[in-house]
Amino acid sequence: MERKKPFITASERVGKLPPYLFAELDRRRSAARKKGVDLIDFGIGDPDLPTPKPVVETARGAVAVPEYHRYPQSRGSDFFKEAAFRWLSREFEIPSLDSLEVGALIGAKEGLAHLPSVFCNPGDVVLTPNPGYPVYRASAILADATPVDVSLTRENGFLPDLGVLDESVLRSAKVVFLNYPNNPTGAVMGRQAMREIVEFVRRKDVLLVSDNSYSHIRFDGEKPTSFLEVPGAEDVCLELHSFSKTFNMTGWRVGFIVGGAKLVRTFMGVKENLDSGVFTAVQKAAETAIDLGPEHLDSLLATYRSRRDTLLEGLLKLGWDVCDTPGTFYLWAALPRGTSSMHFASRLISTAGIVVTPGNGFGSNGESYVRFALTVPEDRILKALGRLEQKEISSMWKKSSHRKRS
């Protein structure tokens, strides 16, 4: 008897996800490596610096603790949540911590991905920055919500203007994602702008989701900021903090969410149905990270500052149009008008062995931009600049530079 061939397809919502725009770039990168090309990879925002030794040593000891081998407390161990509150109290100017609650995350990305599913009904609007971290838009689609762009442009300093959105959109909006210091543009937001946004979302009954993953990586001399520093923000704001960039812990998958107690409890109550929490030994390592002295952050920033200065100055000397924004460990560079960011990034691999991230992967407003991650040692940055200075690369850049961005 002939068996019926099964016909199993993904859900309609999966079909709405944007295509993987980096597939061709990955193919070229793999092909170049197979040919033995010495690739200098500015493409991935994954710190090349090791996790601090005290954190690793804590983890070694914690892994051997039998009680940590069992299911963790799904909302986070008490010691982890207490450490998170120490961090918030020490690093930010939040008026009242008593009204806040904290929950452990399997990395900030996991938290971001689940938020629209918790707070949106099918068809609700989720406001997503363009350009922005692709997870914001994907999480809205997977929640059967409708993502609507919040345009970030160089002319407005890559800051959002929610007031220009159509009133019908705002009536349907349930969540807005914001991320400052900003990936991919490096923009930062001042406290006055934060106050205005909190007041706006309060008037419109919209939940503000603040992705504060790059909170401490800024080069303007200003202190890290949080939307929760605005009085009353806890009623309308959930903020996510990550250990990945601040403590070089991308592979450890740990972070936390903080906001008003009701909002956090609602979110964590859903998470309890989806996962079993963060491995307790990893939470113990994260506690040690929080309690590191200021020397760690000082050293981290000094390293990134030196790399940033070297790359920024080198690109400017070569005639590149780089956005001199002071946040994150990325540089956001504008290409000549009409230049495809994917085509440019692909050509850069084949002609110079240099990998950058094409801006259109972050949304339509990212077209004709590329992103450099400062996760490359300084000697490699200098080597990359030498390659970019080669005649072939220079002519590739100048060919259409007669119409440079303003």
Domain range summary for the chain, segments of one domain joined by +: 12-50+295-403, 53-290
Instruction: Specify whether domain 53-290 bears CATH 3.40.640.10.
Output: yes
At residue 406, the pLDDT reads 41
DSSP 84-147: HHHHHHHHS--S-STTEEEEEESSHHHHHHHHHHHH--TT-EEEEEES--HHHHHHHHHTT-EE
Which DSSP symbol is given to 9? -
Report, at the CATH architecture level, how domain 12-50+295-403 is classified: Alpha-Beta Complex (3.90)
HEC sequence for 270-288: HHCCCCCCCCHHHHHHHHH
Q: Is residue 61 within 8 Å of 287, Cβ to Cβ?
A: no
Whole-number Å distance between alpha carbons of 139 and 17:
9
At residue 24, the pLDDT reads 72
Judged by DSSP in three states, 18 sits in: coil
Cα–Cα distance list, 156 to 132, 153, 159, 383 (Å): 15, 6, 6, 34
Phi/psi at 323 (5° precision):
-80, 115
At residue 44, the pLDDT reads 85
Whole-number Å distance between alpha carbons of 341 and 336:
10
Per-residue pLDDT of the chain (406 residues; tens, 9 = 90+): 567 777 788 888 888 888 766 677 778 888 888 988 899 999 988 999 999 999 999 999 999 999 999 999 999 999 999 999 999 999 999 998 999 999 999 999 999 999 999 999 999 999 999 999 999 999 999 999 999 999 999 999 999 999 999 999 999 999 999 999 999 999 999 999 999 999 999 999 999 999 999 999 999 999 999 999 999 999 999 999 999 999 999 999 999 999 999 999 999 999 999 999 999 999 999 999 999 989 999 999 999 999 999 999 999 999 999 999 999 999 999 999 889 999 999 999 989 999 999 999 999 999 999 999 999 999 999 999 999 998 566 666 665 454 445 4
Number of neighbouring beta carbons within 10 Å of residue 303: 17
Helix spans in 19-107 (H) = 23-34, 53-63, 78-91
Helix axes 341-352, 378-388, angle to 10 degrees: 100
